[in-house]
Amino acid sequence: LAAAIGRYSATTSRQISANPPSAEHAPRRRSFLGGRRPFLRRSTPSPCPDRPAPSYKNTSPSSSHITSHHPTARGIGGQSVEEHGCHKLGTPATLRREVRGFPTRHRQLGPWAPPSRPALLSAMSGIQEVETCANCGKESGEAVKLKHCTACRLVKYCCVDCQRAHRKQHKKACKQRAAELKDEMLYSQGLERPESDFCPICTLPIPFHMYDHSVFNACCMKQICDGCNLAAQKRGMRDCAFCRSTYPGNDADELAMIQARVGKKDPDASLYLGLKYFHGANALQKDTKKAVKLWEEAAELGSVGALFELGNAYHEGEGVQQDKAKAAQFWTKAAIQGHVPARTNLGNHERRKGNHDRAVRHYLISAKTGDGRSLENIKILFIGGLATKEQYAEALKGHQDAVEEMKSHDRDEAKAYLDSTK
């Protein structure tokens, strides 16, 4: 606006010098300035520190311009400024024309838009970020190797001493970010069932509860769905449908097969043998402590089911001292790897604590994999007003899709046959 006003100020000043305005125009000039004063205040440069603020009051009829003071302001028509940067802004008539014409000319230039992201990245491509220690400020280089805070990954330190010295200031932000990272990992991973939940013959996921819809063969440690098992028997195959080994004739032979595979560090065998000791099956004496020990070995070898069983043991206090917080930790490790019952137990754990939002998020994930218990839990929460209609509808659709994926002709025949023999 100051530039637009300056274009006419020189010509206007010459016209006013040749034809001074009469006194009768003074009241009109004061009225105009009074009406436009807020606009002029926003557009006028800030006054000099050693000069008074701009005065909009016209004290004499011969006054034909407004004076503003600013050390960096340009003079009339781009000329050099007067003492301390004082310059003339023109007559009220000129101001009126400029103020009315300015929005139109401004619109012709088009609206201002921020630079695009590629343009910003291009402009910043030459800028190199220098990493420094959060405590002492040392820059990263060949002599100084900075390491992230392992909990939050927000800051870096040059040594352990700096990390300890900065711990008091960083503790609160570190805990908050660590909790956020944990939740991101918990709810973004384990959305698909693990490989052990799929039948190795038809490659379809086995319905829940898995032991009610499949058989476990100790010869190869594979869980085969009822549909594939019955189809193999119809073809006259009396051996294992997967590895073709002969089934053990009694509990002692089966136990010998399992123990042989445990000796070869098979995680599934350690998990299965632990279940035998936990329930006292196959003529074994019930020994929950030994079962927990076998599950710990299986978990170290990578068994997801062993993590789930350890969580159950700590939650109930069987074979170990009861510790529900530790139980939740084992369930979390299993849920991240896709174990659906562990995810359901986490939802129950959060629900008992009153964290219904977190519980619904767990139930949603497990319901979408075909778990009917989680769907029922979401329904109960929806009836109680603790889950939204959208969440319940999402769970219903996801559960239906998962159930359709688990269906097959052989499984339907096996279900009908098993129901008729009950």
* Contact assessment for residue 216 and residue 229, using Cβ atoms and an 8 Å cutoff: no
- Whether residue 382 is predicted with pLDDT greater than 50 in this model: the reply is yes
pLDDT of residue 73: 40
- Which whole-number Å values give the CA distances from 213 to 95, 168, 202, 228, 229, in the listed order? 88, 55, 14, 11, 10
The verdict on residue 228 lying in a domain is: no
The verdict on residue 95 lying in a domain is: no
- Whether residue 247 is predicted with pLDDT greater than 60 in this model: the reply is yes
Tokens read off for 265:
């560090």
**Using one digit for the tens of pLDDT, what is the confidence trace for 300-325?**
999 999 999 999 999 999 999 999 99
Taking alpha carbons only, the member of 87, 93, 90 closest to residue 29 is 93
68: β partners: 87
pLDDT of residue 141: 83
The verdict on residue 37 lying in a domain is: no
- Whether residue 134 is predicted with pLDDT greater than 70 in this model: the reply is yes
Taking alpha carbons only, the member of 372, 370, 373, 348 closest to residue 359 is 348
The verdict on residue 359 lying in a domain is: yes
- Which whole-number Å values give the CA distances from 28 to 53, 55, 102, in the listed order? 23, 17, 22
Higher-pLDDT residue of 351 and 22 is: 351
CA 160 – CA 82 distance, rounded (Å): 63
- Whether residue 102 is predicted with pLDDT greater than 60 in this model: the reply is no
* Contact assessment for residue 45 and residue 5, using Cβ atoms and an 8 Å cutoff: no
pLDDT of residue 5: 58
CA 215 – CA 229 distance, rounded (Å): 8
Q: Dmax of the chain from CA atoms?
A: 125
Residue whose tokens read 């170990």:
320
Tokens read off for 171:
């503790």
- Whether residue 169 is predicted with pLDDT greater than 80 in this model: the reply is yes
The verdict on residue 365 lying in a domain is: yes
* Contact assessment for residue 149 and residue 158, using Cβ atoms and an 8 Å cutoff: no
- CB-CB neighbours of 208 under 10 Å: 23
pLDDT of residue 347: 96
Residue whose tokens read 């084992």:
330
6-15, 155-164, 309-318, 378-387: least confident range: 6-15
- Whether residue 19 is predicted with pLDDT greater than 60 in this model: the reply is no
CA 183 to chain CA centroid, nearest Å: 8
- Which whole-number Å values give the CA distances from 191 to 43, 198, 337, in the listed order? 58, 15, 8
Q: Kindly state the helix (H) or strand (E) to which residue 68 belongs, with its residue range.
A: strand 67-68
Residue whose tokens read 């979390």:
332
CA 234 – CA 29 distance, rounded (Å): 107
The verdict on residue 25 lying in a domain is: no
9-23, 200-214, 307-321: least confident range: 9-23
- Whether residue 100 is predicted with pLDDT greater than 90 in this model: the reply is no
DSSP-derived secondary structure letter, 301: T
Tokens read off for 298:
């299986």
Task: Give the model's confidence band at 142: pLDDT under 50 very low, under 70 low, under 90 confident, else very high.
Answer: confident
Rounded average pLDDT over 232-242: 91
Question: What CATH number has the domain bearing residue 388?
Answer: 1.25.40
Boundaries of domain holding 350: 338-401
- Whether residue 75 is predicted with pLDDT greater than 50 in this model: the reply is no
**Using one digit for the tens of pLDDT, what is the confidence trace for 285-294?**
999 999 999 9
- Whether residue 43 is predicted with pLDDT greater than 50 in this model: the reply is no
- Whether residue 81 is predicted with pLDDT greater than 70 in this model: the reply is no
Rounded average pLDDT over 25-41: 42
Number of domains in the chain: 2
The verdict on residue 35 lying in a domain is: no
Higher-pLDDT residue of 112 and 87 is: 112
**Using one digit for the tens of pLDDT, what is the confidence trace for 323-362?**
999 999 999 999 999 999 999 999 999 999 999 999 999 9
Rounded mean pLDDT of the chain? 79
The verdict on residue 348 lying in a domain is: yes
Residue whose tokens read 């035998």:
276
* Dihedral angle sign, alpha carbons of residues 42, 46, 47, 50: positive
